[in-house]
Structure 1
Amino acid sequence: MPITAVTKDPENLTLTVVADFPVPQQRLWEAWTDPRQLERFWGPPFAPATFTHHDFTVGGRAEYFLTLADGQKWSGSWRFTAINPIDSFEASDGDDNAEDENLPAAIKFHFEATPTGSRMISINSFESLEAMEETLPGMEEGLRAALPQLDALLTEDKD
């Protein structure tokens, strides 16, 4: 399992997730910045993601939807606020995510090399304690289901 730590910090309204992968930092970065690769792991297996727009530039947007088991679609988006190639990127929750007001207001992804490969650290910031408490159970379940898909993608033979 790639997730090595999940830290809930109600005082700072954050959820931090740490995951380790047996690949170089550059490879991990590429998976997070390529929409076709993101589609293979962003949504959990029971709600796969489809990215319809992905402008990975500061001020650009990523737009996606998750397809639920009953065929319904849940839309989401990010607005990229900072990009530091291969090391980090930050995004704010898209304005059109009104379907779920409790989503994190901002998310920061950090990538670093480790002795055995690379590490991803995501820090999700919430607007309120209520939003955080309501979102965390489903969000943690989704991450625990989605990130093993990233692990499988990263370790595929790239022939």
Structure 2
Amino acid sequence: MAGAAASEPEADRELIVTRSFDAPARLLFEAWSRPEHLKRWFGPVGYPVTMCEMDFRVGGQWRAAMTGPGGQQQTPFGGAYLEIVPDRRIVFSNGFELPGAEKMVMTVTFDEKNGRTLLTIRTLFASIAQRATHVGAGMAEGLGSGLDQLADLAAEMKKQAA
């Protein structure tokens, strides 16, 4: 439904996930900004990222694909980096590489206090229908599973940095 988002309240089109990490923001930011790190944690357990390309700069493109538990390649997805504030904020578009697929905008913030970081992922969907589809398919749970893996990676990175 073209133009639907214009009349739909933003709050009805968003999903917010937060997680606290025992790691500094700079390490978490690095885990979001380098493909070799993203491949180790992004997405739910059982759906590894098997392709990841990143031009990590404002205006740069990114794309990724996961492989399912049975070895089947999932539909690639990606978008563009819209805003990057080192160690504080990353804003990017994201959507499946399918004709006519709607894009969502994801804002990731890193709020560090005393060596701990509160990471917030705010996903603004193009429409309420797109939100319902993604949430109904388990997006919040998938994000949570990925963040569990990010916690493991952050702990490893923190050890290496010590």
Q: Same fold (TM over 0.5)?
A: yes
Cα RMSD, aligned residues only: 2.2
Deviation at 1:115, TM superposition (A): 3.5
* C-alpha distance in structure 1 between counterparts of 2:56 and 2:62, whole Å: 7
- Largest Rg, 1 or 2: 2
Match of 2:81 in 1: 80
Could you tell me how far apart the structure 2 residues matched to 1:84 and 1:113 are? 14
Structure 1 stretch displaced more, 80-89 or 11-20: 11-20
Match of 1:89? 90
* TM-score, length-scaled by structure 2: 0.82
- For residues 46 and 90 of structure 1, do their structure 2 counterparts lie closer, same or farther at Cα, with a shift above 3 Å needed? same
Consecutive unaligned residues of structure 2, counting only runs of 5 or more, are 1-8
What's the offset of the Cα at 1:11?
A: 3.7
| Secondary structure of 2:131's aligned partner | helix
- Contiguous gaps of at least 5 residues in structure 1: 1-8
* Aligned equivalent of 2:122: 123
- Cα shift readout 1:85-140 (whole Å, capped 9, x = no counterpart): 1111111125x5228946x5111111111245111111101111111112113101
1:150 aligns with 2:156: no
Given the two structures, how large is their TM-score scaled by the length of structure 1? 0.84
Is 1:13 the counterpart of 2:13 in the alignment?
yes
Q: Which has the higher helix share?
A: 2
Shift of 1:13: 0.8
Alignment match, 1:134: 133
2:119 pairs with 1:108:
no
CA distance in 2, matches of 1:147, 1:84: 21
Instruction: Give aligned-pair identity as a percent.
Output: 27
Tell me how far 1:19 sits from its aligned partner: 0.9
Q: Determine helix, strand or coil for the equivalent of 1:39.
A: helix
